[in-house]
Amino acid sequence: VLINSIPLREAKDSSAIENIVTTNDKLFRFANIGPEHADPATREILRYRTALHNGFNNLKNRPLTVQTAITICRTIKNYDLDVRSIPGTTLENKATGEVIYTPPEGADLIRNKLSNWERFLHDETAIDPIVRMAVAHYQFEAIHPFPDGNGRTGRVLNILYLIDKQLLDLPILYLSQYINAHRDTYYKLLRGVTASAAWEPWVIFMLDAVENTAKWTTEKISAIEALMEEAARHIKEAHPIVYSHELIQLLFTQPYCRVTDLVKHDVASRNTASRYLRELADNGVLEQKKEGREILYINTRFLDLLKSDKHAFPQYPAVNAKTPAKQGTSTP
């Protein structure tokens, strides 16, 4: 459940740092029905989630390397890129046009610096892993190895590094929320390390980011679990024929669901699945929406909980009360 939902929020905010923006509704909708008809920004954000998932799965067989970074960036950008070889890359103040940083140039030099970065990741010196992550993230940003996608690649690597060091079990730390909320400070402190070796403020910022988002993510997970339990209880009481553990799991894998999803996951046959979802929509548990030739069923309480920075959700109506025709308008 969690690995399908929270990484989408991470993908959205990490991309927003680079001014690649979509809505939560679009993101979760196209995550379910497929990205073919999505706008370019939404497709690119969905590829970020793919890069994070693939990186996580690959960690089971091999450690983080330079090739990991290249593969992540290729997935996000959707073409066969490599380290920069053309000179002239500069980072500018978008408001003034002022050049604020010129990264190293030349493929050989960049590869040498990436090799140093990789060695630092796996160095046995007694440095706290989160501090090492902060330093390595600066190194990667400063090398700026690719023509595009460096920031997002670096933020995927942050999560994978914490997993590699067994500080996370799953890629569900929503680190980019904090960075996006403090974007100006993030870039200012990166520049401070470059300009005056101001490491301490930068490392403290990243430690604060991990602490804040770890607490937020834990609270969000607890809220999702509570909502799942409440949904299971309500459906079991109000719609006992519809209820199954597998259905609840599917409704909380992602907020958008189709009849074909129930069939694919062996929850019900097509006709039965259609009847189940219609019943839940008619009684306000789900919301029905037409998307081309398909009908989508939206777990709106779950979607709203994922979209919100808060962790509250409306209760389901009491079983003996008259169930509202539309979801989300009543609480007990």
What lies within 8 Å, CB to CB, of 147 at 6+ separation is 81, 84, 86, 89
Tell whether the model's pLDDT for residue 187 goes beyond 80: yes
Confidence tier at 332 by pLDDT (50, 70, 90): very low
Mean pLDDT to the nearest integer, 318-324: 59
- Predicted confidence band of residue 322 (pLDDT cuts 50, 70, 90): very low
Domains of the chain, CATH where assigned: 1-197 (1.10.3290.10), 217-307 (1.10.10.10)
pLDDT at 2: 81
Token duo for residue 40: 């370019």
For 74, the token pair is 């290729």
DSSP-assigned letter for residue 97: -
| Segment 6-40, tens digit of pLDDT | 899 999 999 999 999 999 999 999 999 899 989 99
- pLDDT tens for 229-268 read 999 999 999 999 999 999 999 999 989 999 999 999 999 9
Taking each helix axis from N to C end, the angle separating 107-121 and 129-143, rounded to the nearest 10 degrees, works out to 180
Say what the pLDDT of residue 88 is.
77
> Residue 195 class from Cβ within 10 Å (0-12 exposed, 13-18 middle, 19+ buried)?
exposed
By the 8 A CB rule, do 85 and 146 touch? no
User: Could you tell me the two tokens for 180?
Assistant: 């996006």
- Record the tokens describing residue 80, joined without a space: 């066969």
Task: State what percent of residues in the chain have pLDDT above 70.
Answer: 95
Residue 5 has pLDDT above 50, yes or no: yes
Res. 327: pLDDT tops 70: no
Residues 6+ apart with CB under 8 A from 77: 44, 47, 146, 148, 149
Q: At CA 305, angle to CA 304 and CA 306, rounded to 5?
A: 90
Indicate whether this model's pTM tops 0.85: yes
Across the range 115-129, mean pLDDT stands at 95
Whether the pLDDT of residue 47 is over 50: the answer is yes
